[in-house]
């Protein structure tokens, strides 16, 4: 029964329930007032604190950069102080290898008989060298890495000597720096 009374009440007063609310212009005006009230607060907060936020950001970025610079410098000092004999050997072998590579480059590419992968492997700073250099930077005190680096230089130098000997045997008419030194 109570459901019937409620339904009767709704049917009798249906027109009262369907009264028109405020028009669309009222809602638009209300939304505009709300937007106008919120915007100044946000903008004024940003105006007040943006300089502080920028200063903090600059400080953080500078701190990170200084830290990374100091770490890099520390690593470089460790390499120089821990392995001065390696630095000496590196300079010697590098100059010898560069000299041999220059001599080889005087020969025509077809005389070398090497494909592009083999030519890339002849370069001083190839993938093996980069891997050893990276390992040495990560573990500057490791004697095995130092030995491997020196052995790499020795093997590279031996390989280049053999290639030059074969090239000189095939084409003796091309003069290299060593040949000129012998003539003088």
- CA atoms of 148 and 90, how far apart (whole Å): 12
pLDDT in tens, 108-144: 777 777 666 666 677 766 777 788 888 877 877 788 8
Residue 2's pLDDT is: 58
Hey, where are the domains in the chain? 29-82, 83-172
Specify which of 41-55, 63-77, 156-170 reaches the highest per-range mean pLDDT. 156-170
* Contacts within 8 Å (CB) and 24+ apart, 78-84: 78/140, 79/136, 79/137, 79/140, 82/140, 82/141, 83/136, 83/140, 83/146
Work out the pLDDT band at 38, boundaries 50, 70, 90: low
pTM over 0.85: no
Residue 78's pLDDT is: 56
Residue 37's pLDDT is: 61
- Please give the residue that has the higher pLDDT: either 17 or 10: 10
- Please give the residue that has the higher pLDDT: either 38 or 23: 23
* Contacts within 8 Å (CB) and 24+ apart, 167-174: 167/104, 167/107, 167/111, 167/112, 170/111, 171/107, 171/111, 174/106, 174/107
With a pLDDT cut of 70, the percent of the chain lying above it is: 73
Q: Assign 83 to helix, strand or coil.
A: coil
Residue 93's pLDDT is: 86
- Please give the residue that has the higher pLDDT: either 121 or 45: 121
Determine the angle formed by the axes of helices 84-105 and 24-82, rounding to 10 degrees: 100
Residue 60's pLDDT is: 92
Is the per-residue pLDDT at 40 higher than 60? no
Residue 11's pLDDT is: 84
């Amino acid at each position: 029964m109570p459901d019937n009374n409620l339904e009767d009440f709704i049917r009798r007063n249906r027109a009262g329930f369907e009264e028109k609310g405020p028009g669309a212009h009222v809602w638009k005006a209300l939304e505009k007032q709300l937007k106008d009230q919120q915007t100044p607060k946000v903008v004024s907060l940003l105006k007040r604190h943006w300089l502080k936020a920028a200063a903090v950001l600059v400080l953080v970025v500078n701190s990170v950069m200084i830290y990374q610079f100091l770490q890099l410098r520390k690593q470089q000092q460790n390499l120089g102080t821990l392995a001065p004999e390696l630095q000496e050997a590196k300079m010697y072998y590098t100059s010898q290898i560069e000299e041999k590579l220059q001599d080889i480059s005087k020969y025509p590419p077809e005389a070398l008989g090497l494909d592009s992968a083999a030519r890339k492997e002849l370069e001083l700073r190839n993938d093996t060298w980069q891997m050893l250099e990276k390992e040495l930077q990560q573990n500057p005190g490791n004697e095995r890495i130092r030995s491997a680096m020196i052995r790499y230089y020795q093997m590279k130098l031996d390989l280049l000597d053999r290639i030059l000997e074969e090239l000189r045997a095939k084409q003796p008419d091309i003069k290299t720096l060593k040949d000129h030194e012998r003539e003088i």
